[in-house]
Chain A
Amino acid sequence: MKTFNYHSAKDVKEASKLASSNSAFLAGGMTTIPSMKLGLASYKDIIDIKRIKKLTGIKVSGKTVTIGATTKHSEVASSKDVKKAIPSLAALAEGIGDPQVRNRGTIGGSIANNDPAADYPSACIALNATIHTNNRSIDAEKFFRGMFETCLKSTEVIETIEFSIPEKSSYQKLPNPASRYAIIGVYVAKHKTGINVGVTGAKSCVYNDKDLAGALTKNFSSSAIDSVKISSSGMNSDIHASSDYRANMVKAFAKKAVDAC
């Protein structure tokens, strides 16, 4: 790993001030550190935001669950409040990586990285999340831009992620048997205001499948999905799964998710 200057920021203002186009914020480091070791990334400055107290914790209000950016997967998975308000979100966190990854990895790190096979981005889409940074509040649909790309600026720090509590929801994934990343992950959420189907693992970036959501709006049952045609065009094709297989799995796991709602 190439060397860098390590900073532990005491507050968000300091973290943002230290940041540049040649820096990275460090939360759990579950992707950043291996990426630097493999030579896929290098930075002049690593700005650790883990010790900033206001960035961690879980708050449930009447309609929303708000999770601090540096809250760990294991904390979300075991939170009684999250389990009660949005059980599917706690279950998603429990299915990320392995116990040691969940003891370090954070929700803010996961969405800032926007890995096309990560779990949390689908939750943000399905649960109408608002991403609050030190500068602004961003709708999830606008936050995720493309492969490993978000609309975050280099000095912008995610502070909290605010999820709407749905009437019912379920996240179902076909995990890669080694890494537990999603080969396909489908997050179905039924809100008073409408239905979202967040799909991860299928394309270069998470998306809301409007066709599936449309079919479920007319009839919220897994049989409603039978007639939806899922095109494999633009879907990932790799050693784990071909694009045709992925398209088929999106449908299968959307049905599974609806049945589990």
Chain B
Amino acid sequence: MKKIVVEVNGKKVSKEIQDHTTLSGLLRDILNLTGTHIGCDTSQCGACVVHVDGKSIKSCTALAADLDGSKITTIEGLASNGKLHPMQEAFKKMHGLQCGFCTPGMVMSAVDLLKNKKNPSDQEIRDWLEGNICRCTGYHNIVAAVKEAASKM
């Protein structure tokens, strides 16, 4: 067992975890933040993307013990004061989801993209979302949603 202190969505959290606990396991099973989804569990699908110290990573493939002292933002941490994040609004407006399973990862990934590139092209959006797999939408409306968010942010 290891003791870690992390900041999750702005709140300090101190937990005893097993050495092999992943970040996705910490978030979902220990902190009950089930917005972060586990699809493949081996870092291909991107449903589990969260931000660690401002960068998007796949939480299924990071050990929680390794993240002691980190600042973590999950899909639950995007909205503020009950108001959706512009990226969440854009996914809603542009129908950037159907079943919604991949959506938390898509949104977290896309938010990271816009941090580094204010007005990405369609190709840049598609390249960036390389590691996020969606089985429903054909990606078209996801790209449209990211563009919509870029115009609002």
Contacts and interface: CB of A to CB of B under 8 A. Distances in A.
Q: Do A and B interact with each other, yes or no?
A: yes
Contacts of B22: 1, 33
Interface stretch (A96-104, A137-145, A245-253): A96-104
Nearest to A38: B42
B141 interface: no
A103 to B, nearest CB: 5
Given A8-B66, A33-B61, A178-B44, A99 B20 contact: no
Given A1-B20, A4-B20, A26-B63, A99 B128 contact: yes
Interface string B47-69: 00100000111100111011010
B46 A104 contact: no
B22 to A, nearest CB: 7
Nearest to A6: B19
By size class, the interface of chain B is 20 to 34
Contact of B112 (A34, A46, A99, A101): A99
A99 B109 contact: yes
B41 A37 contact: yes
B54 to A, nearest CB: 10
B140 interface: no
B98 interface: no
B20 A100 contact: no
Contacts, number: 79
B35 interface: no
A48 interface: yes
B130 A98 contact: yes
Contacts of A2: 20
A8 B65 CA distance: 9
A50 interface: yes
B109 A4 contact: no
Contacts of A6: 2, 19-20, 63, 65-66
A76 to B, nearest CB: 15
A245 B62 CA distance: 36
B62 to A, nearest CB: 7
Contacts of A74: 55
B33 to A, nearest CB: 18
Interface in A1-32: 1-6, 8, 26, 29-30
A161 to B, nearest CB: 22
B119 interface: no
Given A100-B58, A103-B55, A179-B44, A26 B66 contact: yes
A132 interface: no
A104 B61 contact: yes
A29 B61 contact: yes
Contact of B19 (A3, A98, A100, A101): A3
Interface in B40-97: 41-44, 46, 49, 55-58, 61-63, 65-66, 68
18 contacts: A4-B20, A5-B19, A6-B65, A8-B65, A26-B66, A33-B61, A33-B63, A46-B19, A98-B46, A98-B132, A99-B109, A99-B112, A100-B57, A100-B109, A101-B131, A103-B56, A104-B57, A104-B61
Complex A-B, nearest 7 residue pairs according to Cβ-Cβ distance, in ascending order: A98-B131, A6-B19, A34-B42, A98-B130, A6-B65, A3-B20, A33-B61
